[in-house]
Amino acid sequence: PISPYLPISQVQLVLLDHGLYRDLPRAFALTYSRLWHGVVLGDADAIREAAEEMGVGQYYPLLAAMLTARPWTDILRAGDTGDARALHEKGTAADKKQIAGYAAQYAKHIGIVLDLVPRPLLLLFKTNDCLRHAERQLRAA
């Protein structure tokens, strides 16, 4: 637990244990790494290639958006500008509304992607969501 008794100036390391574990096959881990590499660089071709290896090639922009919780345009902008901060949540009401709108608009396609991706990716989606939520909560505190 986070200690309320430590001075404000002290840094705490808090480990999160979501209780979900799985050994990832090496081939999957390499493809997943290439996918994130492409996302961080905003490299649409690299993202597409990794998505194809995961069985969701035609949905590669959606897969990248699902991983980052950012619109495809933000992912490409990160590559164009060389600034990965475009991949961070903005936390504004307008940003939250935009993401919720995309989720509603693409709900059917999101379901298709979730059905097609390798099973280990479902666990990684869940882990990413847990970490994103924890980051949001810590930023708000």
92-107: pLDDT as tens digits? 788 888 888 988 999 9
| Residue 96 and residue 88 in contact, taking contact as beta carbons nearer than 8 Å | no
CA 84, 68, 47, 124: dihedral to nearest 10 degrees? 130
Distance in angstroms (rounded) separating the CA atoms of residues 60 and 70: 13
Using a 10 angstrom Cβ sphere, with 0-12 exposed, 13-18 middle and 19 or more buried, the burial of residue 89 is middle
Model confidence at 2: pLDDT above 60: no
Model confidence at 54: pLDDT above 90: yes
Residue 42 backbone class (left: φ over 0; alpha: ψ -120 to 50; beta: rest): left
Q: Residue 82: pLDDT band by 50, 70, 90 thresholds?
A: confident
Residue with the bigger pLDDT between 137 and 117: it is: 117
44-66 mean pLDDT: 96
pTM of the entire structure?
Answer: 0.78
